[in-house]
């Protein structure tokens, strides 16, 4: 639930930049609290977070929400893992967890994915030690051009 709110407020902030809106995010949370569909106890905490820091870019950076997610993280992971083991889809839980893991990591181990994309489609990859430099590796020993048609994978 916290990640959903964080993503929603991130989207509003991006829309505000794009359309030059001046949004009061804490006020929006309070307005939702008075509605009939979104009535979460977190809405008061969201207002408090934006009152403390009106330029807050993500609720997950606020100490209340950061601590709440960190406290529940182990159980959250067990629920997602159990769902996968039992063949029970948990799309909201698992994608929220993937977002959380991606958001809090400066660099993720996507090297294998990048290598596979380069091998199968000659998509190139960016060198970590030379930002902005993209190369292609001749993975098979023949071909070598940056063209998917040169490989028989």
Indicate the length of the chain as a whole number. 153
- Say what the pLDDT of residue 6 is: 96
Domain parsing of the chain, residue ranges: 2-103, 111-141
Encode burial over 49-86: b for 16+ CB neighbours within 10 A, e otherwise.
bbeeeeebebbbebeebeebbeeeeeebeeebeeeeee
The fold of the 111-141 domain, in CATH, is 1.20.5
Q: How large is the average pLDDT for residues 116-145?
A: 82
- CATH number, domain 2-103, options 1.10.1040.10, 1.10.760.10, 3.30.1490.20, 1.10.3720.10: 1.10.1040.10
Position 40 scores a pLDDT of 78
- DSSP string computed for 44-96: HHHHHHHHH-TT-S-GGGSHHHHHHHHHHHHHHHHHHHHHHHHT---HHHHHH
* pLDDT 10s digits, 14-50: 999 999 999 999 999 988 877 666 777 789 999 999 9
Q: In this predicted structure, what is the pLDDT of residue 81? A: 98
DSSP state of 32: H
Q: Which two tokens stand for residue 82?
A: 């159990």
Give 80's contacts (C-beta < 8 A, 6+ positions apart): 90, 93, 94, 97
Report the percent of the chain where pLDDT is more than 70: 89
**2-103 and 111-141: same fold?**
no
Q: Bridge partners of 125? A: 135
Q: How confident is the model over 63-109, as pLDDT tens digits?
A: 999 999 999 999 999 999 999 999 999 999 999 999 999 888 877 77
- What pLDDT is stored for residue 140 in this prediction? 79
pLDDT value of residue 146: 56
For the entire predicted model, the pTM comes to 0.71
């Amino acid at each position: 639930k916290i990640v959903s709110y964080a993503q929603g407020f991130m989207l509003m902030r991006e829309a505000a930049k794009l359309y030059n809106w001046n949004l009061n995010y804490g006020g929006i949370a309070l307005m939702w609290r008075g509605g009939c569909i979104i009535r979460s106890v977190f809405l008061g905490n969201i207002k408090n977070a934006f009152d403390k820091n009106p330029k807050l870019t993500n609720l997950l950076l606020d100490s209340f929400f950061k601590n709440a997610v960190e406290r529940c993280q182990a159980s959250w992971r067990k629920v997602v893992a159990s769902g996968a083991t039992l063949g029970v889809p948990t799309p909201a839980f698992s994608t929220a967890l993937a977002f959380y893991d991606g958001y809090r990591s400066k660099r993720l181990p996507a090297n294998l994915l990048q290598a596979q994309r380069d091998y199968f489609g000659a998509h190139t990859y960016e060198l970590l030690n030379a930002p902005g430099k993209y190369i292609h590796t001749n993975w098979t020993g023949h071909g070598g051009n940056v063209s998917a048609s040169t490989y028989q994978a």
